[in-house]
Each structure stands twice: as C-alpha cells, then as structure tokens.
Amino acid sequence: MTITNIILMVVVIGIAIYAVYYTIKKKQTAETENTIDVDDKTYTIEKMIEFVKRRLDEITKINLYDIGLSEEELKRRKNKKYELKKALKGCTYGDVNDKKYVKELIYDLLANEYGVTETNISKAIPFDIPSLLTAQDKFDILIYAYKKDFGYEALPELIKKYKLDELKYVEGESKPSYVITEDEISKIYEQENIVLAFSDKLSVLVQRIYQRYKGYSSIDEVRDMNIDGVSGGVSGLPESFLSQVAQTESDYLNQITEHKVPRACDSIWIMFRGKSIRLAFLSFGTEAELKRVCQNIYKYNNPGQLSDTNGYKINEMKDGSRVVVVRPSMSETWAFFVRKFDVKRATLEQIVLYPGKEDAIDLLKYLVKGARIISLTGEQGCRKNNNAYGNDRKYI
C-alpha cells in the first residue's frame, strides 16, 4: 500500500467522522432551540403564538436532504411540507379546509411539543373562572359549542334563539339600534352553562391563536358563518383623529373617553337577514390588527397591491364572497366589507315580510315571467340583490 493510498484513507475517514459529528451537533442544536424555557408567561397566548410561528417556519423551511432520510420517507416529508405551505397560503383566502388543516397542526404542536395541559391552559384563557372571562372569550366558547351542533348555522341559531336581531336602546343613545352588547353575551353564557372537556378548551385556544396568526382576528369565525356579510372599521373614530385631538384639545379627548366613543378598530358589523347589527362586544384591539386583516382579506387570486395611490380593492374570496377594502388616504381609516351570496337559501317568502306580501310576491313572479324591466331600489342592506330566481332572470 502506497503512502498516497494511506493519505487518501485518512482523509476519507476524517471527512466521515466530521460528517457524523456535524450531524449530531446539528441535531443537538435543533433540540436545544426547541426546548421551552418555562416561566410565568410561558402559557400566555402571545408566547404560544411566537412558538407556533417559529415551529411552522422551521417545518416549511427545513432542508430535507440534510437529515439523511430514506427515499420513501423523503417523498412523504416533501408532500407534507408542500401541503402545509399550500394550506398556510390558502387559509388566508378564506378556505375553510385549509383553515381546518392548519388548526389541527397547531393543536398537535401545543399538545405534544409545547406541553399545554389541563392545569396550565387556564393561564391563557381562564376557563374555570367565568368572572375573568372577557366578552370575546365567552363568545368564542359559545360559537364553539353551537358549531358542534349546528355547523356554520351556529351564529344564526344563537341570534334567533335569544332574539339578538331586535331593535334595542343602548345607554347614551336616544334612538334604538341593532346591536349585540357585552351584557347580552354574558347573560347568554350564564344561561347556557357550557361544560368543556380539555380537548374542547384546547380547540377554543387553538382558534384564538389561529385567528391572530393567520386568520381574520375577532371576525374569523363570524366570517365563516351563514350570514349575509361582515364589515370592519366602517364606523367609529380613526386613530389619526384621536392622536390629533390628544395634541390640541385634551378636554375633548377626556369627554370621548368618558362616553366610551368607539374607535374604528372597535367597529365590527354583521349583515343578518337584511339588518346591519353591530357587535359591540368584539374589537380588533388596535388599528395595526385592523390593518393586518384588511391587507390579507382581499388577496385571493392576486388582485394587486392596496397602496396609497390605489386606495381601494374590489375582489372575491375563495368561497365566492365579495370583498371591498379601503385604506387611507382614500378613506379616514382602514376598512373592509364582505358580502356573502347564498341565493339558493333565499326565498321571496323569506325576504318580503310585511302584511299582504302574497300579492307582492305574485306580482313579482308575473313581472319576471313576462320579462319586464324591474327597478329595485332601497336603502343599503334591504336585500336588493337577493331573489328567488337567480341573477340571470333579474333585470335592473
């Protein structure tokens, strides 16, 4: 054996030893990074969101060729990685199947890796102490419980059962309005007396994390329901106005604070059976969160960039909903309008409610059969678009 061969063997052995050492070291580093340092804030929603973001980023960006997988395992992991990337993109377009996939993955990460248990889950949402639950906590639990029985009819069923779509007087207002208040949600929560298993609690927590990470914030579950539409940022005072007032007229700002005048980021409305109902118990929290929702909700099929020079976008979501988004300086604040069209469920008997409606329905039927030109007028939300025959037989 020549000296050259000996040197080559030494070099090959050295490279093999280094490769093994590098692989072991890399694996140890990854395990160290994934180790969770437990402290008082570990099981807060903010910390869990950070963990979920980091883990999903690692899963989608990992180089599968560096970890020595068999051909079959490599193919399986590549398909799983591609499916996750597709779901993370599709769930922001309103795809309920992609949303379900991402939520299931978050559920597994929290249960198996983060160590969420029956004892520490209440640090995120105080399920066992009703007095500490916020209005959004109670609403999320109610929707989850109703969704198990009614699916996407959960919110309509809740509204119909407790007659939440009726005109009511709110403190500080001289005229009645369609509004669902925090007190109403609290009373409903007490009456329902919902008992949740640990899996149910974790599912509610997963939804809260998802809606702040990839979803549409407070309206994420509301948007999926079988209602006529949902809007955000369309009323209330914009942040720019409040900051301007704070610098010039502090007395006026104090009056606004005392009377609890809602901000634009507190503005959430739904359209239910032709009625615009304000969800006074829900809020985006900050203008930044409202802005995030507005920037994501219109993105299906890449309609272009919403910018200061092009301050509005009209588009569709994946389920066929129409979405309109506006931003400053075209509007005073960031805002969006989502209208859902469910023609197959709309009937004339459902739409026309006043006494003597039978004659009006018969007249409409004969006008349509006679191919007459019909002018449909009325205020916003009076259901001009809904008809029993479909848009192809309506003339406006």
Mind listing the pLDDT tens digit for each residue in 273-319? 878 999 999 999 888 999 999 999 999 988 988 888 899 999 999 88
Residue 30 in this model has a pLDDT that exceeds 60: no
Chain-centroid distance of CA 211 in Å reads 4
Helix (H) or strand (E) holding 86: helix 71-90
Task: Please tell me the predicted confidence (pLDDT) of residue 103.
Answer: 95
Q: With 50 as the cut, is the pLDDT of residue 82 above it?
A: yes
**Conformational region of residue 273, where left means phi above 0, alpha means psi within -120 to 50, and beta covers everything else:** left
pLDDT digits (tens, 9 = 90+) for 155-185: 999 999 999 999 888 877 778 889 999 999 9
Verdict on whether the full-model pTM lies above 0.85: no
- The reported pLDDT for the residue numbered 1 is 55
Q: Indicate whether 22 pLDDT > 80.
A: no
Q: So what's the pLDDT on residue 263?
A: 81
335 - beta bridge partners?
326
Q: Determine the average pLDDT of the residues in 382-396.
A: 45
pLDDT at 23: 59
Q: Do residues 368 and 389 lie in contact, with contact meaning Cβ atoms separated by under 8 Å?
A: yes
Task: In whole angstroms, give the CA distance from residue 202 to residue 214.
Answer: 18
Identify the residue with better confidence: 45 or 341: 45
Q: Can you give the residue ranges of every domain in the chain?
A: 1-32, 131-343, 345-393
What mean pLDDT do residues 115-122 have? Answer: 90
Question: Can you give the pLDDT at residue 53?
Answer: 93
Q: Which option is the CATH number for 131-343: 3.30.450.90, 3.40.50.150, 3.30.420.40, 3.40.50.2000?
A: 3.30.450.90
Pick the closest to residue 321 from 225, 396, 208 (CA basis). 225
The band of 252, judged by pLDDT with boundaries at 50, 70 and 90, is low
pLDDT at 387 over 50: no
What band does 355 get if pLDDT is binned at 50, 70 and 90?
confident
pLDDT of residue 153: 92
Q: What's the pLDDT score for residue 87?
A: 92
Reading the block at residue 33, the tokens are 């990074």
* Residue 57 predicted with pLDDT over 50: yes
Q: For the chain, what percent of residues have pLDDT higher than 90?
A: 44
E-strand spans in the chain?
179-180, 229-232, 268-272, 275-279, 312-316, 322-326, 335-339
Residue 358 predicted with pLDDT over 80? yes
Q: Does the pLDDT value for residue 267 go beyond 60?
A: yes
Residue 35 pLDDT exceeds 60: no
Does the pLDDT of residue 394 top 50, yes or no?
no
pLDDT of residue 319: 86
With a cut of 50, say whether residue 393 has pLDDT above it. Answer: no
The least confident of 1-10, 288-297, 352-361 is 1-10
Q: What is the dihedral of CA 266, 272, 275, 276, to 10 degrees?
A: 10
Whether residue 33 has pLDDT greater than 50: no
Q: In which order are the strands placed within the sheet that holds 179-180?
A: 179-180, 275-279, 268-272, 229-232, 335-339, 322-326, 312-316
Q: With contact defined as beta carbons under 8 Å apart, do 284 and 232 qualify?
A: yes
Percent of the residues in the chain that have a pLDDT greater than 70, as a whole number: 81
Task: Using pLDDT thresholds of 50, 70 and 90, give the confidence band for residue 254.
Answer: low
Q: Is residue 112 a contact partner of residue 228, using CB atoms and an 8 Å limit? A: no
DSSP for 183-227, please give it. Answer: HHHHHHHHHH-----HHHHHHHHHHHHHHHHTS-GGGHHHHHSSS
Across the chain, mean pLDDT equals 83
Residue 40 has pLDDT above 70, yes or no: no
306-333: average pLDDT: 90
